[in-house]
Amino acid sequence: MENETTLATSPNLPAASTPATSAPEQASGAVVNDAQEIALSLADKAQGFLEGLLRPWNAYQIVIALGLFIVAHLLAKLLRPRYREWMRSRENWPKWRLRFMLLVERRLRLICFVLLIFPTVWLMRELTWPSRSYLLGVIANLALAWLVIAIVTRLINNGFLRSLVRYAGWAWATLVILGITEEAISLMDTAAIELGTLRLSIWMLVQAVFTLGLLFFLARSVSKATASGVRRNEDISPSMQVLVIKFAQVGLYGLALFVGLRATGVDLTGLAVLSGAIGVGLGFGLQKVVSNLVSGVIILLDKSIKPGDVISLGETFGWINTLGARYTSVVTRDGREYLIPNEDL
């Protein structure tokens, strides 16, 4: 019919399209997929490990390890009183040696367990197939790694830092011995947030904490050695000694922070906003702190006062004990210590 209209589909007409996915959504979806794949890989390994425990020889190895642990516990309980009596007869030893012996006494059970399990592993490898002592070897390596880390971290004086390094070392040693280091690193690296051009992941934070902690420890050690060397130099005046020590501390810690951030892959240009916020804070909220710092530097540079000088405080007088970065310590005749801000001086 002439009045009927025929609707034809032309090849030139655009076909119905699905909504386009933006680049950030695609990136987030890829990250989620990667995390799921890594989590599934870890779950498969854990399932395989648990299924392996059901095998007869693996169960025998667990029973052997538990038996050795019980023997180590009884042996440590038997040896501890005699060991303490032997330590009392060595009271004239240096303090570092006594501390080490006390550490051995506290870890005596683990030491006995390590001394028992390694000969057992070697004997089983000589008498039977290596696969029948594999699990015992893993347990032996874990026990030895935990023992070494516990002894080495005892050298750290700060209790919180010592515990942090110890538990981190135990976790890392466990991942390495179990052979799941790459999966754990990938999983921590996928959990990240982006702040502009700066990408922060859990793995980057772990690296930053470890690297900065090590660098700050080295900076502190070098700072202490520098301070003791400067104080022994009699050619430098007391005020200049304090100034040199303060500048060395600021330089060393600043260098440690810069090198640590660069080593962990942090883009320092992304910290421009943070630097601006710190500058605003210095201008408004930290005026007194900055004023005392600058005043302390001026006092040290012009050599107006130095440790040991006598100054008056109202109706009394006292001796300058130390010149700090923000305040000066003054001790009066009655033994009281006053902390005077450098700005007031």
Residue 3: per-residue pLDDT: 45
- Residue numbers of the domain that contains 79: 31-190
Query: Within the chain, where are the H helices?
Result: 23-53, 56-88, 95-106, 108-127, 134-152, 159-178, 181-190, 202-232, 238-263, 272-284, 287-302
The owner of tokens 């890392």 is: 172
Q: In this structure, are 182 and 37 located in the same domain?
A: yes
Do 182 and 45 belong to one domain?
Answer: yes
37 and 186 together in one domain? yes
Structure confidence at residue 16 (pLDDT): 44
CATH of the domain at 301: 2.30.30.60
Query: Can you read off the two tokens belonging to residue 286?
Result: 């930290």
Residue 214 lies in a domain: no
58-91: per-residue pLDDT in tens?
A: 778 888 999 999 999 999 999 888 888 887 877 7
Q: What is the DSSP letter of 20?
A: P
C-beta of residue 326 within 8 angstroms of C-beta of residue 341 = yes
pLDDT greater at residue 273 or residue 148:
148
Is the predicted pLDDT of residue 17 greater than 60, yes or no? no
Could you tell me if residue 99 is inside a domain?
A: yes
pLDDT for the residue 10: 39
What's the pLDDT tens digit per position in 82-137? 888 887 877 777 777 777 888 888 888 999 999 999 999 999 888 888 777 888 88
Q: What is the pLDDT of residue 215?
A: 85
pLDDT of residue 34: 57
Looking at residue 208, its pLDDT comes to 79
Does residue 173 belong to any structural domain of this protein? yes
182 and 330 belong to one structural domain: no
DSSP classification of residue 58: H
| Entry pTM | 0.54
Element (H, E) at 199: strand 198-201
> pLDDT (tens digit, 9 = 90+) per residue, 266-290?
666 656 656 666 666 666 666 777 7
Task: Identify the pLDDT of residue 43.
Answer: 62
Residue 178 has pLDDT above 60, yes or no: yes
> 297 and 247 in contact (C-beta within 8 Å)?
no
10 inside domain: no
Please check whether residue 48 lies inside any domain of the structure. yes
Place of tokens 């007031």: 344
Q: In the predicted model, what is the mean pLDDT of residues 4-13?
A: 40
